[in-house]
């Protein structure tokens, strides 16, 4: 029995569509906000870099901004962020348990997290932020995300002042 060429072409096209849907790329920058009241409202931002480093920032309503360094790994539809000790972290600090997301239709939804770090309800669903959203080469030297100038890269430590990386025209930001 001979299989018609149209059936072979249709099966090949269907297989290609399924494989491309499973190979969805992780964008560079994700953001989300949520909370059932203003007291528990927070904004979470994650910057994923191409070298496997990441910055996680969380800002609770009327509280200080928190920033963590992490390494990320994507395995099919699971993205895992393992926290790392940053330069300014005290030596005996406890690292949070890894943050685990499912990655479907471009959205990151947390499935496992450290409740002392990210709250009992966990982080909100995170969506890609911005238009052309590509990963930076690395965020390993970043102190925090650049909220002073969104067109620039992250903020790094240099001497006693926060300095934007050279690609951002080296603007000094007072502490």
What pLDDT does 24 receive?
61
What pLDDT does 163 receive?
39
Give the pLDDT mean for 20-49.
Answer: 78
What pLDDT does 98 receive?
96
pLDDT exceeds 50 at position 168: no
Structure tokens, 63: 């509280």
Sequence-distant (6+) residues with CB within 8 A of 31 are 43, 44, 45, 46, 126, 127, 129
Structure tokens, 91: 């030596």
- Look-up: residue for tokens 């430590």? 157
Q: How far apart are CA 70 and CA 84, in angstroms?
A: 5
Give the pLDDT mean for 14-23.
Answer: 42
Q: Specify the length of the chain in residues.
A: 175
Complete DSSP assignment for the chain: -PPPHHHHHHHHHHHHHHHHHHTPPP-SEEEEEE-SSGGG-EEEEEEEBTTSEEEEEEEETTS-EEEEEEEEEEETTEEEEEEE--TTS-TTPPPPPPEEEEEETTEEEEEE--HHHH-TT-PPPBEE-SSS---BS--TTEEE--SS-TTS--EEEETTEEE--GGGT--EE--
> What is the average pLDDT value for the chain, to the nearest integer?
74
pLDDT digits over 94-138, tens only? 889 999 999 998 899 999 999 988 888 889 999 987 656 567 767
Question: Which domains are delineated in the chain?
Answer: 29-137 (2.40.128), 141-175 (no CATH)
**Higher per-residue pLDDT: 32 or 164:** 32
């Amino acid at each position: 029995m001979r299989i018609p060429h149209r059936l072979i072409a249709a099966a090949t096209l269907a297989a290609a569509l399924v494989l491309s849907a499973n190979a969805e790329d992780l964008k560079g920058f994700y953001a989300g906000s949520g909370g059932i009241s203003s007291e528990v409202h927070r904004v979470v931002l994650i910057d994923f870099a191409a070298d496997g480093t990441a910055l996680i920032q969380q800002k609770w309503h009327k509280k200080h901004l928190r920033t963590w360094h992490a390494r990320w790994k994507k395995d099919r539809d699971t993205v895992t962020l393992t926290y790392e000790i940053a330069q300014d972290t005290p030596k005996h600090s406890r690292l949070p348990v890894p943050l685990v997301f499912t990655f479907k239709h471009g959205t990151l939804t947390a499935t496992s997290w450290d409740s002392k770090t990210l709250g009992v309800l966990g982080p909100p669903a995170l969506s890609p932020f911005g238009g052309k959203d590509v990963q930076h080469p690395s965020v390993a030297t970043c102190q925090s995300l650049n909220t002073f100038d969104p067109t620039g890269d992250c903020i790094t430590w240099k001497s006693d002042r926060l300095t934007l990386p050279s690609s951002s025209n080296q603007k000094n930001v007072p502490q």
